[in-house]
A and B are shown apart, each in its own frame.
Chain A
Amino acid sequence: MIERQALSVTQVNLYIKEIMNRDDVLTDVLVKGELSNFKAHSSGHLYMSLKDENGVMRAVMFRGSASKLRFTPQNGMKVVAHGRVTVYERDGQYQLYIDDMQQEGIGDLYIAFEELKAKLSAEGLFDPAHKKPLPKYPKCVGVVTAPTGAAIRDIINVLSRRFSYSDVVLYPVLVQGENAAQSIAQAIRYFNQTKGADVLIVGRGGGSIEDLWAFNEEIVAREIYQSEIPIVSAVGHEIDFTISDFVADLRAPTPSAAAELVVPSQTELIDKFHNVYRRLYSQAARILEQGRLRLKSLSERPSIQNPMLKLEEERIYLDRLVQDMTTAADKILEQKKQGLGVAASKLDGLSPLGALTRGFSVVKAEDGGVVNSVSRVKPGDNMTVMVQDGKILATVKETEKEVENHGR
């Protein structure tokens, strides 16, 4: 005892809560008793006690569940409540958390309902994987309901207004009373045997839980489950849930909602066709325009537009070549010319004529020969003396041969 560690209050409460939360009975329990200490809080939550001759238990019903109650609870009322029992840790008290509640009497049906629901659910009748998709455009809608009353009137009104493409076949059935379930099951079977519809609406208008009871019967549930034709259930009002709703391929909150669900809106469809029509046109126009643009851009290519252009280009190129060639040749000629000038001036310096400018002269004999020796002329001969700017005529007076001093 001394060795043991003490637990905190919170730990103990939590421990108890965990035990209770794992318990199959406490987590899904139907409790019958008399209401006392009933208080509707402004938050929408309901607080109360359930009691019988020997005991009392605290209970709470939260706003979400409380808003679906079909009666106004009062102290002293005998009720059957469904929910789970667990610990409210802060107070260290267990209480019943109610998610659904019926007045007793009605409570018996309620117990039967919960039992069948649990059984069929365990068998997999509510399995979403088993649910069949509805046909998009049913040629024939089968209706299983009473031939009189609001339900069939609403269904036919909606089907006529919404989608005249669908035919409607009503299998009139009893929707309440002893033979109702049998009659409903038989109708579902008939449509399946004759393949007389593409989709079925099974339901009835609103009523008390007893009125709706046929749709909570096992025979109806099983027939719905076995149906090869998809079934939309439409029982009572939005707040009414029946076993049929859980088994059906789709639950509609009301009969007219069921009719809305099984057929598309013809107006919307026709709008859709108009839309498709427009899209077809605009797509075709787009593709044509693309083709036209391609053609245009091709036809605007220079090679198509002016086939001679290539030749022109060649010609221009040729012209340019000739031009370049001429320029180059001219340049070479110019260079040569300049070279020639230089050479000529050099040559000029070497010419005897050039010497004339420097003061020398050339003497020519009468016969035109150059007088390069005294022996070439004799006194009295005429000579021509060539100077830079002209000629001088002269006559030889005398000649004198210079003696060479080195002799031969």
Chain B
Amino acid sequence: MADKQSFETNLQELEGVVKALEGGKISLDEMLTLFEKGISLTKECTDALNGAEQKISILMKNRDSGELEEQPFAGFGE
């Protein structure tokens, strides 16, 4: 869940950065800071997506405890 939070937060922050830059009424120093930040946020977001390995699992009852637990989903049983 922490990853997801940061992904969404990053994305929101990135949108803010672009908006601020497009507003244009900022000093060169601020611009450089924003630009640097924007580039690193973009990279983080893209990396998060590209690096994501989807986990597909199925909830199965543990024979001993009777509790549900996640197990890799093997297939569609066809």
Contacts and interface: CB of A to CB of B under 8 A. Distances in A.
Contact of A270 (B18, B50, B68, B78): B50
A170 interface: yes
Contacts of B49: 164-165, 266, 269-270, 273
Contact of A148 (B17, B32, B78): B78
A148 B78 CA distance: 7
Given A137-B7, A277-B39, A287-B21, A147 B31 contact: no
Contact of B38 (A172, A270, A276): A276
A170 B71 CA distance: 10
Nearest to A146: B77
Interface stretch (A153-161, A253-261, A399-407): A153-161
A167 B54 contact: yes
Nearest to A286: B24
B22 interface: yes
Given A165-B54, A168-B54, A287-B26, A273 B42 contact: yes
B52 to A, nearest CB: 4
A279 B54 contact: no
A190 interface: yes
Nearest to B23: A283
A293 interface: no
Most buried by B among A148, A170, A172, A276: A276
B47 to A, nearest CB: 10
Most buried by B among A156, A167, A287: A287
A86 B35 CA distance: 68
Interface residues of B, number: 39
Nearest to A173: B59
B59 A169 contact: yes
B53 interface: yes
Nearest to B5: A139
A283 B52 contact: no
Interface string B13-27: 010011001101010
B62 interface: no
A169 B21 contact: no
Contacts of A147: 58, 76-77
A36 B30 CA distance: 80
Contacts of B57: 167-170
Contacts of A169: 57-59, 70
B76 A276 contact: no
A160 B59 contact: no
Q: Interface on chain B toward A: helix, strand, loop, or mixed SS?
A: helix
Nearest to B41: A276
A198 B3 CA distance: 13
B4 A198 contact: yes
A189 to B, nearest CB: 12
B24 A280 contact: no
Nearest to B11: A137
B14 A167 contact: no
A166 B54 contact: yes
Contacts of B32: 284
A164 B4 contact: no
A171 interface: yes
A166 to B, nearest CB: 7
A279 B26 CA distance: 16
Interface in A140-195: 147-149, 152-153, 156, 159-160, 164-172, 190
A280 B17 contact: yes
A152 B77 CA distance: 11
Interface in A296-352: none
B56 A280 contact: no
B1 A139 contact: yes
A136 interface: yes
Contacts of A277: 39, 42
A288 interface: yes
Given A166-B54, A168-B56, 18 more contacts: A137-B7, A147-B58, A147-B76, A149-B76, A165-B52, A167-B54, A168-B73, A169-B57, A169-B70, A170-B58, A266-B49, A273-B42, A276-B38, A279-B22, A280-B35, A283-B18, A286-B24, A287-B28
5 contacts: A170-B58, A170-B73, A190-B59, A283-B31, A288-B28
